[in-house]
Amino acid sequence: MTSFTPQFITELKDRIDAVSLIGDSVELTPSGKSYKGKCPFHQEKTPSFHVYPVDQTYHCYGCGAHGSMIDFVMHQKGLKFPEAVKMLADLVGIPLPPDGKQSRYTPKELNKFRLLYSTLEAAADYYQKTLADGSAGLKYLESRGIQQEIIEKFALGYAPNAFDSISLALARVEEQVLLDCGLITQSDKGKSYDKFRDRVMFPIRDMRGRTIAFGGRVVSTDQAPKYMNSPQSLVYNKSKCLYGIYEAWRSNASLSSLIVVEGYMDVIALAQHGIENVVAPLGTALTLQQIQLMLKYCSEYVLCFDGDDAGATATWRALEHGYSLLKKGQRIRVVRLPKGDDPDSYVRTHGVEQFHELVEKAPNSSAYFFNELQAQYDINDPEGQSAFVERARTVINEIPYELYRDFMFRKLQDIVGHDIPILGLRDYPSVGSRTTRELSSQNNKSTDRKSKRLKVGERNTLRSLVHNMDVVPLISKKSMNSISELQKESLIFDAILRIRENELNNFAQLLASYENNSPEHRYLVQVAESAPPGLQETGLRDPLLNAIDTLIFRFKREIARRDV
C-alpha cells in the first residue's frame, strides 16, 4: 500500500486553498472567520457547513462531517486516502514521487525552512525587547499616540542604531542564515552589517502568526529610505502577503470587509482608534495575489489610499486588478481622502467618527471608475470620446462576473449616448445586440472553444506565458500529450503547441503565427500589454509549469462533466 511522509502531506495541505476547492461544488459565502454553505453530505435547508480557510478544515454542524481537504475529497469522491492525495497533488501541481514516500524537499531543505522561521521569530523577540528599553523607537511611537496595547498586538520593535546589534543578539545563528532572512546585508567588499538600523520594526506575519519578514521606519537619523522592507526569501514573497491581515483576522472586528491603506503606520494608527479591519500592501501596488488573499476572508474591500497623485494612481491600479477577479457577491468601494491627507492624518485631524462616516458612505467602485475617466477625457468630441471608450472597455473586458460586466457596458453606453461598437473579441459585441446572441449561438455549436473568453486562471497563465516563453520546452511529455488533446479548448493550449511545434522564440513570432485581426491575434495583443502576474511560488519548480498543469486538470474535469 502506498504511504506518504508527514512532510509530504504537510506540503500538500499548505498548497491547497480550502475555499477554492470546496467552493467548486458548494456555494460558499463569508461568515465571520469561516465560509458557510449547504452541506454536500446531507440534505438541509439552512446552511450549517463551514469552511475554515486558515486551518484548511471543514465542519458541518448538522451532520458532524469534518476534517481536512484530503478528508473532504475522500468523502465526496468516495476515494481511498492514497487516491485522494494523488488527485490533490495533481490539482495543485506538486510532483508525486514514484513511491509516494519522498517529500518535494530534502530533509536539509525542510530544516532550512524551520531555521528561517525560528530565526525571524527570535529577531522579532529581540526587537521587541529593545523597544521596551526606553528607545528612540518607543519615543517615536508615543509621539504618534500609539499605546502599549497596540504595540503588543502588532509586536512592534526597535532596531538600534548600530551595525552589529542583530548579529550579536543572534550570535549562535550562522551568518548565511541571517543573510537568507534579510536581517543583515553585505557591502561591495563582502563585509556584513545590520540591514535595519535606528528603525521602528513592523513584523510581517503570515496567517499562522509566524514572522516571515520585517518593515522598518527610520526614527531619528537621516537614513534613506524612510521605510525599508525585508528582501524576498524562501518564506516571504511580498506580492502575496498583506501587512495587518493576521491581526485583523485575530481581532474581534468583522471581516465582512477590509480597508486597504498604503502603509504600516496607517494600519497601526487606525488600530489605535479601534478600526481593526485594516491591511496594507508591502511597499508595492496592490497585487492580484493580495486581493485573492483578502477575498478568502471577506467579500468586500474598501480602497483608502493617500489623497495625492500617487494615491490616485495606486487606487486605479488596484481597481483594475480587483475587476479582473470580481465574482458574484463581491464588492469594491473607494474612499477619496482630501488632498494631502492619509488615513492616519485624517483621523488625527477630523476624528474617528468622521472617518467611519467617510468609509460607510464610500461609493461603489463603478461610480469612482466612471467619474475618474470622465475627468480625464472630453467626451463631447470624437477623439476624446473614443479614447474614453477604449480606456474603459479595456478594463471592463477583464471582469469575469458577466452580469456586472454587462451592467458596466450599459453604463458606458449611457454615458456616451449610443451603442458601443464591436469590442474586438468574438463574444464581446455591443451589449444586448442581436450580434451577441448570434455569435453566442455559433460558439455553442462549435467544438472549437479556444477563441472564447478566457477565465481568470487561463488569462493569468497566458499572460505569464507570453512573457516567459522559454518555459515551454520544460513542459513534460505527459503534459504535452494532454495539451494536444485540449488544443481546441483554450487559447493557452493552442499557443503552447504553436511555440513547441514551430520552435518559436519570442512573442512576435507567436503573434505572427495567428491570422492578423483574428480574435486570437487581438486577444494576445491585449494580454501582452499587461504585466505578467506573479504566479504562486512552489519552491523548486517553475510556478508557470504548475499553473499549466492545474489548467490541464481543470479542463479534463470539465470535459468529463460535459460528457456525463
Q: Which of 284, 335, 282 is CA-nearest to residue 305? A: 335
The model carries a pTM of: 0.66
* Whole-number pLDDT of residue 427: 40
* Whole-number pLDDT of residue 432: 34
For 300, what's the count of Cα atoms within 13 Å in the CB-facing half-sphere?
Answer: 17
* The three grid cell numbers given for residue 544, joined into one nine-digit string: 508557470
DSSP assigned state of 452: S
Is beta strand 257-260 parallel, antiparallel or unpaired with respect to 300-303?
parallel
Architecture of domain 370-431: Up-down Bundle (1.20)
* Whole-number pLDDT of residue 291: 92
Q: Which has the minimum average pLDDT: 257-266, 268-277, 306-315, 534-543? A: 534-543
pLDDT digits (tens, 9 = 90+) for 123-165: 999 999 999 877 899 999 999 999 999 999 999 999 999 999 9
Integer Cα distance of 169 and 164 in angstroms: 9
Q: Which has the minimum average pLDDT: 181-185, 257-261, 456-460, 478-482? A: 456-460
* The three grid cell numbers given for residue 373, joined into one nine-digit string: 475617466
Q: Residue 354 pLDDT more than 70?
A: yes
* Whole-number pLDDT of residue 440: 37
**Chosen CATH of 245-363 out of 3.40.1360.10, 3.30.1490.100, 3.30.70.580, 3.40.50.2300:** 3.40.1360.10
Q: Residue 309 pLDDT more than 60?
A: yes
* Whole-number pLDDT of residue 418: 74
Q: Residue 400 pLDDT more than 50?
A: yes
SS3 238: helix
Q: Which of 387, 385, 372 is CA-nearest to residue 415? A: 385
Q: Which has the minimum average pLDDT: 18-27, 229-238, 309-318, 367-376? A: 18-27
Mean pLDDT of 85-107: 67
Contact criterion met (CB below 8 Å) for 425 and 396: no
More confidently predicted of 262 and 98 = 262
Q: For residue 444, what pLDDT band results from cuts at 50, 70 and 90?
A: very low
* Whole-number pLDDT of residue 103: 52
DSSP 306-319: -SSHHHHHHHHHHH
In order of 124, 141, 148, 266, 537, the CA distances from 144 in angstroms are: 21, 5, 12, 11, 38
Helices vs strands, H then E, count in the chain: 25, 15
Integer Cα distance of 113 and 125 in angstroms: 19
* Whole-number pLDDT of residue 98: 56
In order of 46, 103, 453, 526, the CA distances from 436 in angstroms are: 38, 51, 13, 21
Percent of the chain with pLDDT over 70: 86
**Chosen CATH of 107-236 out of 3.90.980.10, 3.30.200.20, 3.40.50.970, 3.40.50.360:** 3.90.980.10
For 296, what's the count of Cα atoms within 13 Å in the CB-facing half-sphere?
Answer: 25
**Chosen CATH of 6-92 out of 3.40.50.300, 1.25.40.10, 3.90.580.10, 1.10.40.30:** 3.90.580.10
* Whole-number pLDDT of residue 425: 38
User: What pairs with residue 199 in β-bridges?
Assistant: 159, 218
Return the domain boundaries, the chain: 6-92, 107-236, 245-363, 370-431, 456-563
In order of 294, 299, 311, 345, the CA distances from 339 in angstroms are: 27, 29, 10, 11
* Whole-number pLDDT of residue 464: 82
* The three grid cell numbers given for residue 332, joined into one nine-digit string: 469594491
* Whole-number pLDDT of residue 547: 80
pLDDT digits (tens, 9 = 90+) for 499-547: 988 888 777 788 888 887 788 888 887 777 665 554 444 333 457 787 8
Q: Where are the alpha helices (DSSP H) in 132-233?
A: 136-143, 148-153, 165-169, 175-181
* Whole-number pLDDT of residue 4: 76
In order of 11, 155, 373, the CA distances from 165 in angstroms are: 35, 19, 51
Q: Which of 234, 230, 232, 235 is CA-nearest to residue 216? A: 230
- For the chain, the average pLDDT equals 84
Q: Which has the minimum average pLDDT: 37-51, 337-351, 401-415, 538-552? A: 538-552
